[in-house]
Structure 1
Amino acid sequence: MTERVQVNMHEAKSRFFQLAERAWQGDTVVIIKDGKPYLDLVPHVDTARARKPGRLKGQIRISADLDKTPEEIIVGFEGSL
């Protein structure tokens, strides 16, 4: 079960490594400044690279009869009409 931890700025500076480990383990660590929530300490999560359209251009071939579905497959999905 995750725990919510609130610490003031001075305490956060003194216990940074302990707080970072708690955040990594799943606890919610909130750093308070002037009595109000100021920062959330969260673990880093890699984000997916942005998609670059066209990077495989010329490397993929599509069959000329791609849009011609055999009758037995159509019947299998739709039944006999």
Structure 2
Amino acid sequence: MSERLSDNAAFPQKIGVREFRGNLTAYLRQVRQGSTILVTSHDEVVAELRPPAPSYRPRRQPGALRGRIRMSEDFDETPPDILESMERDL
């Protein structure tokens, strides 16, 4: 394997397509650990591999909206016109 494999995550390392293809597993392991890798073809960068951005989802907390949401008194009551339309013969 190439000696170009490094643990230095501060600077992206450039590797050729053939080198990348030949050591794919090792390079993907480095990316998983936080490294960025630039894949080149004829000294031109054709791809940048880096770990995905962390997805941010705030944790839901039961009761967080307590006191902010109110149900109307007649929430469970069916309005008379809708009730009548459901009971009518077809």
Q: Give me the TM-score of the superposition, normalised by structure 2.
A: 0.47
Whose strand proportion is higher, 1 or 2? 1
Q: Which residue number in structure 1 is paired with residue 83 of structure 2? A: none
In structure 1, the gaps of 5 or more residues are 49-60, 65-81
Which aligned pairs between 1:43-58 and structure 2 lie closer than 5 A? 43-44=51-52
Partner in structure 2 of residue 30 of structure 1: 38
Of the two structures, which has the highest relative contact order with CA contacts closer than 8 Å and spacing of 6 or more? 1
Which runs of 5 or more residues in structure 2 are unaligned? Answer: 1-7, 57-68, 73-90
Count of residues paired in the alignment: 53
Give the number of the structure whose alpha-carbon radius of gyration is greater: 2
Q: Is the contact between residue 31 and residue 37 of structure 2 (CA under 8 Å) also seen in structure 1? A: yes
- Give % identity: 12
RMSD: 2.7
Deviation at 1:45, TM superposition (A): 5.3
